[in-house]
């Protein structure tokens, strides 16, 4: 039975059946469309296409005005006459979705963990692109592993994405050190072809290091990047004044939120980090969608990727 995204996503564990069922909701959005609302998130006008995919067409004899960088030296040497390569532009735009399942994503205070919301949104984006006839691929990363699926126009690509999530979950260890966001972007460069549309689904908690920003810059020159930022209300501000018991795999502790100064500093720290991330992305003309575990994701997706 399809699980509607017009209701909040629920749970602390990613449900593969829900990710497969997201294909029904995906029909109501179109991630292949460029909308004015999405362009406004980038902070300035952006080209309809970022980067360009080209495919080899043929070799013909060199003519005045041809780009000398396209000369085919092997054919030229064999024939004794200068020949040049011709290319034609690849009109399709493969869609890649990357999913962050590192330790900070396994947290939530409302409805679900950030990882559960992120997986649901990522699968919806993939199903939407496939529904519109695009080739789709993915990358799931956590710990020191990154599992990728190269773009194909097939349901198997999305099902492999779901399988990769299960593999990452099965191999996860609480003592494992996560790869950095910068390392993830570096690995992404291996599979992101020029002209691709790439969605980064993450909380971006470590995306402002110098290395990560440089990798952002390199990728943005060749592909169209869209950031999908996942957050939880408890990250944005502390709960109302009181004493709370908190626990993780290391044990239990208590948190006193009665200090207004502490609450204000916590809120200000979050806003500063969020605004710094937004400013960095806007400087590279990368739009950022913001989704919270407290709210249904479909309304936000439809605002920027309307189905019709």
Q: Mind listing the domains of the chain with CATH numbers? A: 16-44+93-304 (3.40.50.410), 54-89 (no CATH)
pLDDT confidence of residue 51: 43
Q: For tokens 């294909």, what's the residue?
A: 23
CA terminus-to-terminus distance, the chain: 24
224-231 and 136-142: which strand pairing?
A: unpaired
pLDDT confidence of residue 263: 93
Q: 3-state class of 138 per DSSP?
A: strand
pLDDT confidence of residue 50: 44
| Closest to 140 measured CA to CA, from 112, 108, 170, 113 | 170
Strand partners of residue 112 = 11, 110
Q: How far apart are CA 262 and CA 266, in angstroms?
A: 6
One pLDDT digit (tens) per residue for the chain, 308 residues:
445 556 899 999 999 999 999 999 999 999 988 777 888 888 754 444 444 445 556 787 877 667 777 888 888 898 888 988 866 544 568 999 999 999 999 999 999 999 999 999 999 999 999 999 999 999 999 999 999 999 999 999 999 999 999 999 888 777 778 999 999 999 999 899 998 999 999 999 999 999 999 999 999 999 999 999 999 999 999 988 999 888 777 788 888 999 999 999 999 999 999 999 999 999 999 999 999 999 999 999 999 999 86
pLDDT confidence of residue 266: 95
- What ranges in the chain are assigned the alpha helix state H? 16-26, 36-41, 73-79, 114-131, 155-170, 181-191, 210-220, 233-236, 260-283, 298-304
Q: For tokens 């790439």, what's the residue?
A: 198
Q: How many CB atoms lie within 10 A of CB 19?
A: 24
pTM of the complete model: 0.83
Q: How far apart are CA 78 and CA 65, in angstroms?
A: 22
DSSP secondary structure of 62-80: --TT--GGGB-HHHHHHHS
């Amino acid at each position: 039975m399809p699980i509607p995204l017009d209701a909040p996503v629920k749970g602390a564990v990613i449900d593969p059946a829900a990710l497969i069922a997201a294909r029904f909701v995906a029909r109501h959005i179109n991630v292949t469309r460029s909308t004015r609302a999405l362009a406004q998130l980038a902070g300035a006008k952006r080209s309809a296409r970022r980067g360009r995919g080209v495919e080899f067409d043929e070799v013909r004899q060199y003519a005045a005005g041809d780009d000398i960088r396209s000369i085919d030296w092997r054919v030229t040497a064999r024939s004794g006459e200068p020949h040049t390569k011709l290319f034609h532009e690849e009109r399709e735009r493969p869609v890649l979705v990357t999913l962050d399942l590192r330790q900070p994503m396994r947290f939530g205070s409302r409805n679900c963990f950030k990882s559960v919301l992120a997986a649901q949104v990522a699968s919806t984006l993939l199903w939407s692109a496939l529904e519109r006839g695009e080739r789709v691929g993915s990358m799931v990363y956590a710990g020191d592993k990154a599992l990728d699926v190269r773009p194909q126009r097939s349901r198997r690509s999305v099902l492999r994405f779901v399988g990769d999530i299960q593999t990452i979950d099965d191999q996860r260890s609480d003592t494992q050190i996560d790869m950095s966001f910068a390392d993830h972007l570096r690995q992404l460069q291996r599979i992101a072809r020029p002209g691709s549309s790439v969605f980064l689904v993450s909380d971006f908690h470590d995306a402002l290091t110098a290395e990560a920003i440089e990798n952002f810059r390199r990728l943005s020159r060749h592909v169209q990047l869209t950031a999908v930022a996942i957050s939880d209300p408890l990250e944005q501000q502390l709960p109302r004044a009181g004493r709370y018991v908190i626990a993780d795999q290391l044990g239990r502790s208590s948190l006193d939120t009665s200090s207004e100064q502490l609450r204000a500093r916590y809120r200000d720290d979050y806003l500063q980090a969020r605004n710094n991330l937004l400013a960095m992305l806007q400087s590279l003309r990368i739009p950022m969608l913001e989704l919270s575990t407290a709210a249904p994701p479909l309304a936000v997706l439809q605002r920027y990727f309307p189905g019709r």
